[in-house]
Amino acid sequence: EGNLRAINPENGFFGVAPGTSAKTNPNAMETICKNTVFTNVAETSDGGVYWEGMDQELPEGVTVTSWKNNPWTSQDGEPCAHPNSRFCTPASQCPIIDPQWESPEGVPIEAIIFGGRRPEGVPLVYEAFSWQHGVFVGATMRSEATAAAEHKGKLIMNDPFAMRPFFGYNFGRYLSHWLSMAGRPKAKLPKIFHVNWFRKSQSGSFLWPGFGDNIRVLEWMFRRLDGEAGAMPSAVGYLPCKGSLNLEGLGENQVNLEELFGLSKDFWQKEVEDIRAYFDIQVNDDLPNEVAKQLECLEHRVRQM
């Protein structure tokens, strides 16, 4: 039929525990209520688990043992759970899992979403100009290191396709494989989007509320697929037109769209330099011509800013 299709090879989910609560992710909290493995979280004296950001008052008389197996109180000055503590839980327990989640035929893919943790410079969401540009967007993903990475600090790391630790063969051939999809007969290729939930203001606070409010960005994508939502071209891709992102219910001063979607010429000139250096070192002669062309196009658009 010409569609890319997706199957689910996994039987469950794993996620980072700290910050997960009934407020930030109620479906996750319902999913992990049984048959779940927790690692490096704190333990309560009544047999429960505990972590930072759970937002649950402990019953009177209940004490906490930290992930280091020491008695813990909130006055200790250190977290009770490791920053990268996890839960692992059966997908079948998720209350909103799609009925087709185990379909052997898979489901058609209409959109692919890439995302990086970028505190500055990268807008909340943008749409690739084409399949080839979308492959370039995936290839040039960069992200601030988290507690899950082996590198510490605020280092911005190249993480192409969010697959940096998992590539099993030559990166250049991996890119060529993605690009080859455009040559399939009657190909109905999905749109490609990039999101960044983690942009910060000059004061260091997150510009986007995140968590459940991310559905507002997904709604814009759905409406783009249906030809309903407006978008305007920019140096990096299509950005939502003014008024096309549903912000109903958010306080007027809660979201600064100008900061969220602002593009700095200096930032993106440096980004182009860093991408070129990464390709030269990591891919070199194996870089597909189409990806090199997309870098030239980005450089040209940034020059025109």
Considering the chain, what is the average pLDDT of its residues? 94
Q: Domain with 218 in it: what CATH number?
A: 3.90.228.20
Q: Are residues 203 and 176 in the same domain?
A: yes
260 confidence band (pLDDT: 50, 70, 90): very high
Return the percentage of the chain with pLDDT > 90, whole number: 88
Q: Are residues 161 and 298 in the same domain?
A: yes
Instruction: Name the least confident of 114-123, 129-138, 163-172, 279-288.
Output: 163-172
Whether 154 has a pLDDT exceeding 80, the answer reads: no
Q: Are residues 64 and 118 in the same domain?
A: no
Q: Are residues 41 and 146 in the same domain?
A: no
Q: Which tens digit of pLDDT belongs to each residue from 12-52?
A: 999 999 999 999 899 999 999 999 999 999 999 999 999 99
Q: Are residues 61 and 124 in the same domain?
A: no
98 is a domain residue: no
Q: Are residues 161 and 39 in the same domain?
A: no
Higher pLDDT, 55 or 304: 304
146 is a domain residue: yes
Residue 152: per-residue pLDDT: 55
Q: Are residues 168 and 254 in the same domain?
A: yes
Residue 233: per-residue pLDDT: 98
Q: Domain with 19 in it: what CATH number?
A: 2.170.8.10
235 is a domain residue: yes
Structural domain for 74, as ranges: 12-93
Residue 1: per-residue pLDDT: 81
Q: Are residues 239 and 283 in the same domain?
A: yes
Q: Which tens digit of pLDDT belongs to each residue from 173-223?
A: 999 999 999 999 899 999 999 999 999 999 999 999 998 899 999 999 999
106 confidence band (pLDDT: 50, 70, 90): very high
- What dihedral do alpha carbons 82, 118, 23, 239 form, nearest 10°? -160
Q: Could you say which of 93, 122, 148 is where a domain stops?
A: 93
Whether 67 has a pLDDT exceeding 70, the answer reads: yes
* Total of domains in the chain: 2
Q: Are residues 186 and 243 in the same domain?
A: yes
153 confidence band (pLDDT: 50, 70, 90): low
Can you list the pairs that 264-273 forms with residues at least 24 positions away whose Cβ atoms lie under 8 Å? 264/121, 265/302, 265/305, 267/120, 267/121, 268/121, 268/235, 268/236, 268/298, 268/302, 268/305, 269/302, 271/121, 271/142, 272/298, 272/299, 272/302
Residue 211: per-residue pLDDT: 85
Distance CA 159, CA 80 (A): 30
Its pTM stands at: 0.83
201 is a domain residue: yes
Whether 146 has a pLDDT exceeding 80, the answer reads: no
Q: Could you say which of 64, 93, 122 is where a domain stops?
A: 93
Q: Are residues 127 and 82 in the same domain?
A: no
253 is a domain residue: yes
Question: Average pLDDT in the 76-97 region?
Answer: 97
Q: Are residues 71 and 149 in the same domain?
A: no
61 confidence band (pLDDT: 50, 70, 90): very high
5 is a domain residue: no
Question: Average pLDDT in the 61-78 region?
Answer: 96
Residue 5: per-residue pLDDT: 94
Q: Could you say which of 37, 58, 93 is where a domain stops?
A: 93
Question: Average pLDDT in the 86-109 region?
Answer: 95
Q: Are residues 142 and 72 in the same domain?
A: no
89 is a domain residue: yes
